[in-house]
Structure 1
Amino acid sequence: MIEKRNFYIDGEWVAPKAAQDYEVIDPSTEDPCAVISLGDQADTDAAVAAAKAALPGWKAADPAERIAAVERIAKVYAERAEDMAQAISLEMGAPIDLARKNQWGAGAYHIKNFIDAAKAFEWVHPLGDGTPGAMIAYEPVGVVGLITPWNWPMNQVTLKVIPAILAGCTMVLKPSEEAPLSSLIFAEILDAAGLPKGVFNLVNGDGAGVGTQLSTHPDVEMISFTGSTRAGRAISKAAADTLKRVTLELGGKGANLIFADADEDAVARGVKHCFQNSGQSCNAPTRMLVERSAYDRAVEVARQTAEATQVASPREEGKHIGPVINKAQFDKIQGLIETGIAEGAKLVAGGPGRPEHLNRGFYVRPTVFADCDPSMTIMNEEIFGPVLSIMPFDSEEQAIEVANATPYGLTNYLQSGDGARRNRLARQLRSGMVEMNGQDRGAGAPFGGVGSSGRAREGGRWGIEEFCDVKSISGWAE
């Protein structure tokens, strides 16, 4: 059993003010694998006080010094790659190959892109031609509270911590209590990289405790949160009295529009993307809308792809999916699969229960529903599991109408060989991101949505700007 009860506050590992043990559950076995502590108000106050004390010095540091600190972090992060991958695989069930390549790799990717963005960032620049002496300055917001989820731990931690450091903010991180081990390693990485005391602090806790304490704390100027839409609403309300800046990256219900002229791998690619990380991605393309002339073939390919998707222990190497995070999530997914059947969707692969060869652990069968319609629960609710819903469409207009008929608006997908169509429909899809023909977003592109997906913009220069206040200055001496 791993024991990690201490918090990282003011450059030191310190014991919680009051004992409040919390067991971290290995989702592949349903057994405890670690014990952490949940913080209380005194721990949160101590972390915020450390961040507040460190703010003047870090805020005044030359941007080059802050970039150099992040470059040291990148080096140590690379050295701890295997430790990080093993922690993520244990705490949230990512298969070890996925943990090494995608889970750890997402953090490395973001750190590099932020370094590149910071080197090109103009912290003070002229407003524009024709406005002599008018300048725009980007300045750190101040002390920030960072609340991150369990599904892509280092992806989200690096998308918040690194730009906050580069912007000159100081911070308190509250990682998910479901998957805290990777963030504790991340704190060790920042310590080894020589980040000044108090710039980064970590207190474990749950949303009702430390999460609310950060959201309401008078000395915290900003909350950056990634998680459920329900929790995002609660944080916004909690932060209102202190007029904090609140940036939210929330859920999604992405549509994947597949036209008859799409490449032959489009359907299989969409199914695999939906199932990646056991379906536990807010940007997963969980609604597949297929042009009617290609529909029957698409359903068959989706069935074959789902049945070929292996489910196995995260300890095993190879391309398979692992368990979902916990019993509550497992039960929710099972209930939604049952609802899909009850509401008349055609089950073509998977279904309720665990895979036959697994009788323990929160494993879900890769599931595909066909002949869905927009009114069905599985077409509207974020399932957060390996469940795909497919329906046909007859026109571009219908496809856009169905795709946009959701309160969410994170990522939509479009597959077509017609470039003019892709460009036209990309502008009509209501979402913060549109990915077409399997091409990933560019390095440094912003990640974020609209509507119930929140309106954060994380990554690259936009991610740095999130942690800055913009100051307008006139009469600047030339």
Structure 2
Amino acid sequence: MNRHASVLTRGGEAPATAGRPTALRGARHAVREPIPTYLSYVGGKDIDAEKYVYTVTTRSILDDVFESLTLKRRLEQGRVRPEDAGDLVVGRVALADQETVEEASRAAAEAFREWSRWPQEKRMELGAVLRRRIVEGCDDMVDVLIAEGNPRALAEWQVAGLLETFSEETLSWVGELMHREFEHGGRRLLVRRRPDGVVCVNPPQNAPASSALFGITALMAGNTVVVRAPRSAPFGVMYALREFVVPALEEIGAPPGVLNVVCGRPGPMMRSWLESPYINDILYIGSTENGLTFQEECVRHGKKPVLELAGNDCVVVWRDADLDLAVEALTECFYGSGQICMVPNQVLAHPAIADELLERLSAAVAKLRPGYPDEEGVLLSPVLRSERFFTVVKDALDKGASLVHGARRLEADGSPSDTGLFLEPTVLRVDGMEKCREIEAVRRETFFPLLPVIVPEADTDEALLERFLDYVNSNPYGLRNSVWAGDEQVLGRFEREIDNGGLLKINDSHIGFLPYLPTHGGTGLTGGVFGEANYPMLRTSHLQGVSIARGIRPHQAVFGAYDAVRAARAGATD
């Protein structure tokens, strides 16, 4: 095949199919026959490949998982022709070879010199243009995410987060932090952030498209970017970057090579990035164990690691909390069946309201249902590797926890089954704080629809408040924390004293996005040793100070401050 094949844009629309959203039939940058196809995008050109990764519809997987995954495997092996796949396939993405992966890094390095010279305000135009395009195409984006397996509520939540990431408020505030100027003693002083260089983005399997768009905000700092579309879910990443970001870059006249997108196996590509002389930073989103090991590799190879790892978020529900609203926020644990790092993972409930909270939570959770991702009201996603879920639940029960609700496999229609692909939303009660972290469901992120509610021993409110604060701050993870309470003094203590994590929510949605505030980032096992709130523009740039003097003698510059102090002292003595 031609390694620099041009993208086909034929005149008519492809035939409508049950599994293929309208958005794909109108995609400008996809080869649309026999099925929508995205090629590697390197240096402003499309590069074809000998192999492709196919995305089959989640509906087909739920109807017959064996048939669907067998079809996917045979397509990728070349044993089934794409035109014979019918409407079970959403689309395909070219699988980049090693030469293409290395070419992407070189193209980004070549583009950096020109792109980094652009004025900051000109680069920031990308954010406004991209937001406009997301606003115009948000329904199409939701359709693509649904086709790739996200329930509608989860897809819409991801798009809502993108709209806040690229909001005028957030971009203007972060832009201000990139450049400040002062006048002092006949000098013009600048404190500014300079781009690191080439930034590689490794999105996760659970929310790859929105994570890729989050990562490309590093472009506005003057970096160039290489994105790996994960083999498990590459199509949404390609769609988001090719249909939104590439046209936005073209609109502002960015040089080719500023953005490069390739699909490939994680191990070889990450190794290539580590060893490449062109790469400066790597944004890694994945498990804590793999991420911390990768952090060490980055440091060893002289790369800056920017980590987004697991979360084990804590929600505190105080004795005077609005329980209706608190329960509504706690059910956010089950978005995508808990397979999202920033959902609630554990609850600290004041013993005075614990029984009522659990009763209300159990009733609310019972209404959550599985189903096909395009159906309204579906919140749960399939969990393909569910055996460990039951091991974690058994560990909790063996160590004294009690089952409040759930812990069964479900079919798409909600009926219990020994072979269902869904897990019933599960709530556990854990009595006592002293040994609660001996329970794996409390100690670790589980990535399942599982929420332990910890009820401490009865004590004075003053003592309980101290224990709650210590517990939250001692969480080895540190993504998000939230608290529900009415007492202003209690809320004030949490506001002033919680220093763990990248985000603290008070009487608010745990997973909701807001302008100005970070959507990602955290401390400890979540963000690694360099962890903090993650604004990629800031995390992929570095501070630099500049002094521009006018008529200042070097001697004065060296001793000016000390001379001024001595003169002031002499004047005081006189």
Same fold (TM over 0.5): yes
Tell whether 2:309 aligns with 1:309.
no
Q: How does 1:6-85 map to 2 (within 5 A)?
A: 6-16=39-49, 19-24=50-55, 26-27=57-58, 29=61, 30=65, 31=68, 32=72, 33=89, 34-85=91-142
Cα 1:259–1:97 shift into 2, 3 Å: closer
Give yes or no for contact 2:179–2:190 (8 Å, CA) kept in 1.
no
1:451 alignment partner in structure 2: 524
- C-alpha distance in 1 between matches for 2:453 and 2:193: 46
After superposing the two structures, state which structure 1 stretch, 268-277 or 136-145, moved more.
268-277
- C-alpha distance in 2 between matches for 1:405 and 1:27: 39
Tell whether 2:219 aligns with 1:150.
no
Quote how far apart the aligned CAs of 1:123 are.
2.5
After superposing the two structures, state which structure 1 stretch, 205-214 or 27-36, moved more.
27-36
Quote how far apart the aligned CAs of 1:184 are.
0.5
Give yes or no for contact 2:92–2:235 (8 Å, CA) kept in 1.
no
| TM-score normalised over the length of structure 2 | 0.75
Match of 1:357 among 415, 427, 430: 415
Give yes or no for contact 1:258–1:414 (8 Å, CA) kept in 2.
yes
One-letter amino acid matched to 1:386? P
Cα deviations across residues 342-375 of structure 1 (Å, max 9, x unaligned)? 3332111111322553767631111111135332
Match of 2:152 among 82, 93, 96: 96
Give yes or no for contact 2:101–2:262 (8 Å, CA) kept in 1.
yes
2:245 alignment partner in structure 1: 190
State the superposition RMSD in angstroms: 2.6
How many residue pairs get aligned? The number is 467
Quote how far apart the aligned CAs of 1:294 are.
0.8
Cα 1:402–1:456 shift into 2, 3 Å: closer
1:177 alignment partner in structure 2: 231
Quote how far apart the aligned CAs of 1:470 are.
1.5
One-letter amino acid matched to 1:451? G
Give yes or no for contact 1:7–1:14 (8 Å, CA) kept in 2.
yes
- C-alpha distance in 2 between matches for 1:250 and 1:131: 47
Please give the secondary structure, in 1, of the residue aligned with 2:260: strand
Match of 2:346 among 252, 270, 287: 287
One-letter amino acid matched to 1:257? V
- C-alpha distance in 2 between matches for 1:270 and 1:97: 14
Please give the secondary structure, in 2, of the residue aligned with 1:384: coil
Quote how far apart the aligned CAs of 1:21 are.
4.0
Cα deviations across residues 124-155 of structure 1 (Å, max 9, x unaligned)? 523x7569454323211111111111333344
Quote how far apart the aligned CAs of 1:271 are.
2.5
- C-alpha distance in 2 between matches for 1:312 and 1:273: 17
One-letter amino acid matched to 2:129? R
Quote how far apart the aligned CAs of 1:293 are.
1.0
One-letter amino acid matched to 1:322? L
| Percent of pairs with identical residues | 22
- C-alpha distance in 2 between matches for 1:421 and 1:20: 58
Please give the secondary structure, in 2, of the residue aligned with 1:80: helix
Give yes or no for contact 1:24–1:177 (8 Å, CA) kept in 2.
no
Give yes or no for contact 2:38–2:238 (8 Å, CA) kept in 1.
no
Cα 1:339–1:206 shift into 2, 3 Å: farther
- C-alpha distance in 1 between matches for 2:208 and 2:159: 9
Cα 1:466–1:80 shift into 2, 3 Å: same
2:379 alignment partner in structure 1: 321
After superposing the two structures, state which structure 1 stretch, 148-157 or 252-261, moved more.
148-157
One-letter amino acid matched to 1:473? V
One-letter amino acid matched to 2:440? T
Quote how far apart the aligned CAs of 1:341 are.
3.2
Please give the secondary structure, in 1, of the residue aligned with 2:255: coil
Cα 1:97–1:210 shift into 2, 3 Å: same
| TM-score normalised over the length of structure 1 | 0.89
Give yes or no for contact 2:179–2:193 (8 Å, CA) kept in 1.
yes
- C-alpha distance in 2 between matches for 1:428 and 1:118: 25
Cα deviations across residues 230-257 of structure 1 (Å, max 9, x unaligned)? 2212321222233111111211111111
Cα 1:475–1:81 shift into 2, 3 Å: closer
1:424 alignment partner in structure 2: 493
Match of 2:543 among 465, 470, 476: 470
Match of 2:284 among 225, 234, 239: 225
2:222 alignment partner in structure 1: 168
2:261 alignment partner in structure 1: 202
After superposing the two structures, state which structure 1 stretch, 112-121 or 78-87, moved more.
112-121
